[in-house]
């Protein structure tokens, strides 16, 4: 390798490094996910709930969720209807700028439908959250949720 090609090589590598840093920052900076967990299931239970805290600095909308553990994932809201808790699918979940939206037991949650296997404490599942920002750009945030027995619903 000549000195010239070595120099070009270094510049190219630096470029790749800077590009990947830029891509990382763009992909993860705005949206923060924390405290994700999924509730362990009993044998024969075809669905499970998962919870997390999510926030977007600029404001965004959660439009889709996928998991390796389930055929489909929906966002559900919970409403007290004369003493009966009713769940309703939310097609979109708004994340107001700078606010943490909590998905927690007895409230808005992720519903894992068509579980591929029972969820046992100590396992973990993936959750891929697809969001759209104010400019219409979509991104997917990947998170891992440990499975826990958790408090009673």
**Which residues contribute to the site for Cu ion (CB under 5 A)?**
76, 87, 111
Nearest Cα to 138, choosing from 60, 54, 25? 60
d(CA 23, CA 19): 6
How many degrees, rounded to 5, is the angle at CA 43 between CA 42 and CA 46? Answer: 85
Q: Of the two residues 33 and 87, which places its CB atom closer to Cu ion in the complex? A: 87
Residue 70 · residue 46 · CB < 8 Å: no
Report the nearest approach of Cu ion to the CB of residue 75 (Å). Answer: 9
Q: Phi, psi at residue 39, to the nearest 5°?
A: -85, 135
The alpha carbon of 140 is separated from its chain's Cα centroid by a whole number of angstroms, namely: 8
Q: Of the two residues 33 and 78, which places its CB atom closer to Cu ion in the complex? A: 78
Report the nearest approach of Cu ion to the CB of residue 30 (Å). Answer: 27
Report the nearest approach of Cu ion to the CB of residue 54 (Å). Answer: 17
Q: Of the two residues 101 and 111, which places its CB atom closer to Cu ion in the complex? A: 111
Report the nearest approach of Cu ion to the CB of residue 64 (Å). Answer: 16
Residue in the shown chain whose Cβ atom is closest to Cu ion:
76
Q: Of the two residues 87 and 132, which places its CB atom closer to Cu ion in the complex? A: 87
């Amino acid at each position: 390798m000549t000195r010239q090609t070595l120099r070009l090589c270094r510049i190219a590598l630096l470029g790749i490094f800077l590009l990947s840093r830029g891509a990382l920052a763009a992909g993860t900076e705005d949206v923060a996910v924390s405290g994700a967990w999924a509730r362990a299931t009993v044998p024969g239970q075809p669905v499970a709930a998962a919870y997390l805290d999510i926030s977007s600095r600029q404001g965004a909308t959660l439009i889709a969720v996928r998991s390796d553990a389930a055929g489909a994932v929906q966002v559900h809201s919970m409403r007290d209807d004369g003493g009966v808790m009713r769940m309703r699918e939310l097609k979109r979940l708004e994340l107001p700028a700078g606010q943490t939206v909590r998905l927690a037991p007895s409230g808005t949650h992720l519903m894992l439908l068509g579980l591929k296997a029972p969820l046992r404490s100590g396992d973990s599942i993936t959750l891929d959250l697809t969001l759209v920002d104010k400019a219409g750009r979509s991104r997917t945030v990947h998170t891992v949720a440990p499975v826990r027995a958790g408090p009673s619903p």
